[in-house]
Structure 1
Amino acid sequence: MALLVLLFITSVFSVEPSDFTLTALDSSFCHGKLQVIYPEMDIGECSVIPKGLRKKISTIWEAPQIFFTEASEKKPYVLVMADPDAPSRSNPVAAHWRHWLVANIQGSGLKEGKIQGTTLTGYAPPTPPQKCGFHRYQFMLFQQPPETPVTLTEREKSSRGKWNLQAFIKRFHLRKPVATLQFLTQNYHD
């Protein structure tokens, strides 16, 4: 299904000629059958957003649906969406920029594409600055340890930028993500 959607999108929205392709490291980030679904785009593997969709993903579309069919129905999960390339991939001094953070997500909801949980950081669409190149937008799904309340510190609540993702993972014993996915995009004016 995802392949058919991707074929449709690439036939409708041509990818502009570019020397940019995913690196092996970018491609290796994705694992675990996580699906991120926007109104005209189903992302099931590491990819580059076509130029014709960059304005929509940045300014029109709201939070995507998140599907994880491998979720354990009775276990809670934590979803992170972060940009490790803020303000640019060559100078990520504001990384990680936290775009979305939801805890206590029910596995049964993930199987149906419904994020039913506690929103700790509301969804902010990918909006890379002009002339800074491509940014990676990474989705990481962690199994949340039972009976572990996941929260943000006051400092974390005060800013989305310069978020210490590794400290957050360690603080709540989240371990390795059960599924990850990323897409790359750049400012739609570029």
Structure 2
Amino acid sequence: MKLLGALLLAAGLLGPAAQGEQHPRMDEPPRTCFFQLLSGEDSEFCRGDVEIIYPELGNVGCTYIPRCRWYRRRISREWGSPRVRYPQADKSKKYVLVLVDPDAPSRANPRNRFWRHWLVTDIPGADLRTGDVKGHVLTDYTRPTPPPRSGYHRYQLRLYEQPAHQAIALSPEERVSLGAWAMESFEKRFWLGSPVASTQFLTKYYED
């Protein structure tokens, strides 16, 4: 019942669309677009009620991005950085946001994990409460672009409390490449600990 309710709620909140194996024609009448929630181990990654919000889709946390209405294409080709909202953020603290793909180039062969898609430090808690991410950008946002025929990729957003008076920076070696990033070493180097909240969404190449 919980899953069914979530699907119906997503359909009602996010508006009508069509889902199928073919891209919808622009002159086709709108139909219901269902959003499938993650399950099992993938769903367990989502904790702490952090939201990742894209245009038209709303909060995509813990969901598969559907193919209907070209949503997979839009998230890969059109839309910029999402809003990230964390209502429980402490106004007196700052936060670190990390968005990575652990499935590069594929989940079956993730030799380039973690691919860094976004890294922002010094985010005021007050801004996170409203979904307005402002801080020190160490890695500019890059859109999720899974390679063709590589299956679903997880795009994981992790939110950390930034230790007080801690200046965080990427090493010269880390700045050279986005792929094969030693994220765990980065966490340990700056005493970030475990994320206070995390979420993820899954998508694949838009023509697959």
Partner of 2:81: 63
Question: CA separation of 1:110/1:2 partners in 2, compared to 1, >3 Å: closer, same or farther?
Answer: farther
| 2:113 is the counterpart of 1:95 | yes
What is the CA-CA distance between 1:2 and the residue it aligns to? Answer: 10
Question: CA separation of 1:183/1:44 partners in 2, compared to 1, >3 Å: closer, same or farther?
Answer: closer
| 2:145 is the counterpart of 1:140 | no
Partner of 2:145: 127
What is the CA-CA distance between 1:189 and the residue it aligns to? Answer: 1.0
Question: CA separation of 1:70/1:158 partners in 2, compared to 1, >3 Å: closer, same or farther?
Answer: same
TM-superposition CA deviations, 1:19-74 (whole Å, max 9, x none): x9844110100000101111111226411000121000000000000100000001
Question: CA separation of 1:141/1:13 partners in 2, compared to 1, >3 Å: closer, same or farther?
Answer: farther
Distance 1:79 1:186 in 2: 23
Please give the residue correspondences for 1:1-190 in structure 2 after superposition, counting only pairs within 5 Å: 4-9=9-14, 11-14=16-19, 22-43=38-59, 45-52=61-68, 53-190=71-208
Distance 1:176 1:118 in 2: 21
Q: Scaled by the length of structure 1, what TM-score is found?
A: 0.92
1:63 is matched by which residue type in structure 2?
S
Distance 1:50 1:23 in 2: 16
* Bigger radius of gyration: 2
Distance 1:2 1:22 in 2: 11
- Identity rate, percent: 43
- In the alignment, structure 2 segments of 5+ residues that lack a partner are 1-5, 22-35
1:110 is matched by which residue type in structure 2?
L
Query: For the Cα contact (< 8 Å) 2:120–2:135, is it kept in 1?
Result: yes
TM-superposition CA deviations, 1:127-182 (whole Å, max 9, x none): 00000000000000000000000100001000000001100100010011011010
Q: Secondary structure at the match of 1:12?
A: coil
What is the CA-CA distance between 1:116 and the residue it aligns to? Answer: 1.2
Question: CA separation of 1:10/1:136 partners in 2, compared to 1, >3 Å: closer, same or farther?
Answer: farther
User: Runs (4+) of structure 1 moved beyond 3 Å?
Assistant: 1-11, 20-23
What is the CA-CA distance between 1:10 and the residue it aligns to? Answer: 7.2
**Highest relative contact order (Cα 8 Å, sep 6+), 1 or 2?**
1
What is the CA-CA distance between 1:4 and the residue it aligns to? Answer: 4.0
Query: For the Cα contact (< 8 Å) 2:52–2:61, is it kept in 1?
Result: no
2:54 is matched by which residue type in structure 1?
Y
Work out the number of aligned pairs and report it: 188
